[in-house]
Structure 1
Amino acid sequence: MRTKAYQLVAWQQPAELREVDVREPGPGEVLLKVGGAGACHSDLTLMGIPPGFMPYTLPFTLGHEAAGWVEALGPGVTGFERGEPVLVYGPWGCGRCKPCRQGSENHCERVSELRSHGGGLGRDGSMAHYLLVPSSRLLVPLGSLDPRDWAPLVDAALTPYHAIKRALPQLVPGSTAVVIGVGGLGQMAVQLLRAVSPARVIAVDTSAEKLARAKDLGADATVRSDDRPVEQIRELTRGLGAELVLDIVGVDSTLQLAAGVARTRGQLAVIGLGGGVLPFNFFSIPQECQVVAPYWGTLPELMEVLELAHAGRIRMTVERFPLEQAAEAYKRMREGTLKGRAIITPHG
């Protein structure tokens, strides 16, 4: 079978819509009819990196947030039926090392040997009509949720959830969490904080529209990042700062802001791939403040996020684009004009 796919063909060049072959699934594999493929800002980062920086072999299809319907099962695969809606867990590890066997394929010990991090990250991803998933262990039943709208659970929800869960012991009544950047991923972070913790949530952004949306999704307070944000957040926290700061942007200015509003013994989680640098010395961050770089989340955590979606505790704001308009989705992303998460829907 021949079909279309949005592929990264050359480094530091835009991806291209190309014709590709689709093969039948082999032993243990599952062929997925793609419902939705989330477009992520990290894809823009990937397109812009220089040759040799990543171990990936070109070309490969983009799309590391995937949901769809089971199209065909390879020999030996049981537990799924044709037409069943599923999510695809994003990080594809070896499946055999200790972290992988614990459901933490985002921490696979053999990732350097694999020379990829999953579909859309070195291997063919979901921005195509069909996706070949290497193992049924990576599939999570989606139930009644529409695959065309909920693919971003795999990253846009899972990544902040993983960071928030690390900090839950500190997010007690009276605590504060700050979310810097409330686009598609930041909006999920606000909702997740509201769903799983009693912390007061402060949203920070340059866009009044995005801040209004964050308020609607549960943020207790909003702060414009171009209007004395450190002073405002310090005032809101009685001068103490926040127990958790999620920097969804990751540029120099947001990292500086994050360090300026974190609390002693707090956590500063750098989620955004903006390429910024946080200078470090004894005086650059509060005492005993942890700086972490969360990477995706575990398979059990994805199942927990899915339960929150089924319970109506989190909502997904999306804009759908046909596969032929994938480039337009990334153009809108660069311009900052997306209202939520862009999702490529190859089958309409």
Structure 2
Amino acid sequence: MKALQYRTIGAAPEVVEIETPEPGPGQVRLKVTAAGVCHSDSFIMSLPEDQYIYGLPLTLGHEGAGVVDKLGEGVTGVEVGTAVAVYGPQGCGRCYMCAQGKENYCERAAELGIAPPGLGSPGAMAEYMIVDDARHLVPLGDLDPVQNVSLTDAGLTPYHAIKGSLDKLVPGSVAVVIGAGGLGHVGIQILRAITPATVVALDLAEDKLELAKEVGAHHAFLSNDDAVEPVRALTGGRGVAAVFDFVGAQPTMELGAKMVAVAGDQVNVGVGSGTLPVGMLDRPYESSVRAPYWGYRHELFEVLNLARTGAVHVETEVFSLDDAPKAYEKLHDGTLRGRAVIVP
């Protein structure tokens, strides 16, 4: 079968022919219908050899959807032919966090060598993929896999981040989204769908600010210090209830810190290398800095239900598996509108 693999440190991913996998006991094989392209892929492929821990060759793709194609021995609860999305941050299923469906925070994943598809184990950018346990499959029903596969990360990640601040996103509050790209434009829609907050988008690119307004942002400003005054003015000078930073670079984290209110949240979602000082005199009183990771298993059901109502959609550019390297080039160049999706 064909697969897109990262094979050499520092090189571009390659389309290669590899053996079609067979499901072992307890495993499920999917015929892949769609796979999403993510900045996290670019991040791990940019790591120097001494920091790269994901194994080579690595079949990319941690956003996956497919049709159940073959069941391993002992698999129950799922039928061949079922359209599903893959819950990516897979855990052991037995620890305290996994028992709550919070497998993204599995206490034993590192110890047991459990890694998400495309981020340490073979991912979805192939004609077929193996999923280790049927509990990681969420029914898609009549949702289009191509239009919705990115919700498994680009929807689930902002949804999880936003849910952690719901108690502060009350009527009259203001929420800021920094970075209106692949995750940010979905985050804007989620804020509009599940909170009454006024939503402000910040980005360096005018086209992404236009996209932000198209998908529901009440206000949009260029992401620099000139935005601080008008954003704080929207709050009567108090500061914003929550900043959701989908970039995570030093300038964006410092910008968010200038806007957050007393008891507000600064939520770092992006994989940039920015840091912030945290101390009694460094930040507004009782303000918090959080760095959530991906999302809970039950939250993926909720995100897909938002898509079913039409409240959330992903702007997508579609590429064939043969053209998948071009998708990563566009991602690197910042010329994607929304999210890229690979269709085998």
TM-score of the superposition, structure 2-length normalised?
Answer: 0.96
The 1-side partners of 2:330 and 2:50 are apart by 28
Q: CA deviation at 1:146?
A: 1.3
Residue 275 of structure 1, aligned match among 273, 276, 292? 273
SS at match of 1:324: coil
The 2-side partners of 1:181 and 1:149 are apart by 21
SS at match of 2:163: helix
Counterpart mapping for 1:95-244 below 5 A: 95-226=93-224, 228-244=226-242
SS at match of 2:48: coil
Residues 202 and 220, structure 1, Cα contact 8 Å, conserved in 2: yes
Identify the residue that residue 74 of structure 2 maps to in structure 1. 76
Q: CA deviation at 1:54?
A: 4.6
SS at match of 2:183: helix
Residues 115 and 122, structure 1, Cα contact 8 Å, conserved in 2: no
Identify the residue that residue 340 of structure 2 maps to in structure 1. 342
The 2-side partners of 1:304 and 1:115 are apart by 28
- String of CA shifts for 1:257-314, please: whole Å, max 9, x gaps: 1111111111111111122222444443222111011100000111111111111111
Deviates more, 1:158-167 or 1:6-15: 6-15
Counterpart mapping for 1:35-114 below 5 A: 35-114=33-112
TM-score of the superposition, structure 1-length normalised?
Answer: 0.95
Q: CA deviation at 1:102?
A: 1.5
> Structure 1: any 5+ residue segments left out of the alignment?
none
Q: CA deviation at 1:109?
A: 0.6
Residues 148 and 313, structure 2, Cα contact 8 Å, conserved in 1: no
The 1-side partners of 2:69 and 2:165 are apart by 39
Residues 224 and 255, structure 2, Cα contact 8 Å, conserved in 1: no
Residues 56 and 115, structure 1, Cα contact 8 Å, conserved in 2: no
SS at match of 2:193: helix
Deviates more, 1:295-304 or 1:47-56: 47-56
Number of residue equivalences: 344
> Structure 2: any 5+ residue segments left out of the alignment?
none
Backbone CA RMSD of aligned residues: 1.4
Identify the residue that residue 327 of structure 2 maps to in structure 1. 329
- String of CA shifts for 1:15-70, please: whole Å, max 9, x gaps: 22222112221221111111111100111100011224254322221100001111
Moved over 3 A (4+): 279-284
